[in-house]
Every structure is written in structure tokens, then in C-alpha cells.
């Protein structure tokens, strides 16, 4: 065989092997860490999954931890439910100490974080548990967004970069700021899907 043809063949073989290695790693990570998972997931780069409770992910769950490690922690007796077609970018952090629900078609930009427990009392006797964190379908969390305990984000909403979501956000709106507030309603059809 001609040397150029050999190099082309070896590149194709290397690409195919890389695909199968990634697929095997993804399936191993999903089987090892999640109670239930859908097909066609993909995990790239650095990830840290510490799952002691119940964690369920849907179809086409994609994690890209190239630039920074993606971290998911589910405490004992806690639950994390993630819908279909969810994308987590580098540096994303999700901590479920009680209950976190993330809908389908959700995009989480770099360094976005969700936590459902204050972890420490602000003052003696203060309540740490403020209820579950619920992120609706077709939501986009911008870069460095922090979603705090007890918050509900409605379907189709977009949260602007560097926002702190400390109270509920209605469906179909753009919210930003610290604390996040509604800036405007979004004009979109009911059957539109975020990609």
C-alpha cells in the first residue's frame, strides 16, 4: 500500500477508535453513577460524579468538561432528575441535597450552578431547606448563573450571564441581574425547541 494511503487509513482507524472509546467511557460513567439513563449520551473531558442518592437522566445527555470539570453531587436520600436533550458545559456544578429537577432541552453555559440547600444557617434556627429547585423545559442558563434553593424557573425562559436566581422566574421570559428579575417576555411559539 502507498504510504499516503496508509496514513489516511490509520487516521480513519484512529478516529473510529476514539469514537468507540468515548462511547464506552460514556456508557460506563452513566451506568456507574446514575440510577437510570437514556441512550445516546456523551461525556467529554473532565467530570466528577458523586452520586449517593437517586439520579436519573434522559436521552441525549451531553456533558462537555473540556475547559473545566463538570461536577454533579447527589447526597444520600436526595434525587436529581434530568430530562432529555440536556447539555452541560464546562465548569457546571449541580448539587442535590434534597431534590433538583431539570426539564428537557435545557442548556447550561460554562460555570452555571444549581444547589438546593443553603448548607449552613445564616442565623441560629434559620431554615436551610427551601424546597426543590425546578428548572422547566427549554431553559437556557447563561454563563456563571447561580440558581439558589427553592427556585422554580418556568418553561422557555432565558437567564442572563452572571445572574443570581433567588426567586421564581415565570415561563417564557428573559431574566437577568443579581438578584435576577424579569427584563422582558420572549416572543416564541409554543412548539419551539431550544437547541
Strands 79-82 and 54-57 come out as: parallel
pLDDT at 1 over 90: no
How far apart, in Å, are the Cα atoms of 117 and each of 126, 129, 194? 12, 6, 28
How far apart, in Å, are the Cα atoms of 118 and each of 109, 129, 142? 23, 7, 22
pLDDT of residue 97: 94
Catalytic annotation, residues: 120
Average pLDDT, the chain: 87
Over residues 99-131, the pLDDT tens digits come to 999 999 999 999 999 999 887 777 777 776 788
What's the maximum distance between 2 C-alpha atoms anywhere in the chain?
Answer: 77
Entry pTM: 0.86
How many beta carbons lie within 10 A of that of residue 16, not counting itself? Answer: 10
Which residue has better confidence, 37 or 83? 83
pLDDT at 171 over 80: yes
Sorting pLDDT into bands at 50, 70 and 90, what band is 14?
low
Which residue has better confidence, 12 or 176? 176
State mean pLDDT over 57-62. Answer: 93
Amino acid at each position: 500500500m502507498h504510504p499516503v494511503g496508509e496514513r489516511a487509513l490509520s487516521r480513519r482507524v484512529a478516529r473510529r477508535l476514539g469514537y468507540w472509546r468515548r462511547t464506552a467511557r460514556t456508557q460506563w460513567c452513566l451506568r456507574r453513577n446514575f440510577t437510570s439513563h437514556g441512550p445516546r449520551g456523551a461525556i467529554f473531558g473532565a467530570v466528577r460524579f458523586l452520586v449517593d442518592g437517586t439520579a436519573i437522566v434522559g436521552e441525549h445527555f451531553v456533558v462537555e468538561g473540556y475547559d473545566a470539570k463538570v461536577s454533579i453531587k447527589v447526597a444520600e436520600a436526595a434525587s436529581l432528575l434530568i430530562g432529555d436533550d440536556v447539555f452541560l458545559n464546562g465548569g457546571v456544578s449541580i448539587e442535590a441535597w434534597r431534590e433538583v429537577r431539570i426539564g428537557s432541552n435545557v442548556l447550561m453555559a460554562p460555570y452555571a450552578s444549581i444547589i438546593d440547600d443553603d448548607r449552613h444557617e445564616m442565623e441560629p434556627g434559620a431554615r436551610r431547606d427551601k424546597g426543590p429547585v425546578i428548572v422547566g423545559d427549554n431553559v437556557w442558563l447563561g454563563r456563571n448563573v447561580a440558581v439558589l434553593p427553592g427556585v422554580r424557573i418556568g418553561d422557555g425562559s432565558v437567564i442572563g450571564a452572571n445572574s443570581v436566581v433567588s426567586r421564581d422566574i415565570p415561563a417564557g421570559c428573559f431574566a437577568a441581574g443579581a438578584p435576577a428579575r424579569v427584563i422582558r417576555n420572549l416572543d416564541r411559539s409554543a412548539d419551539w425547541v431550544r437547541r
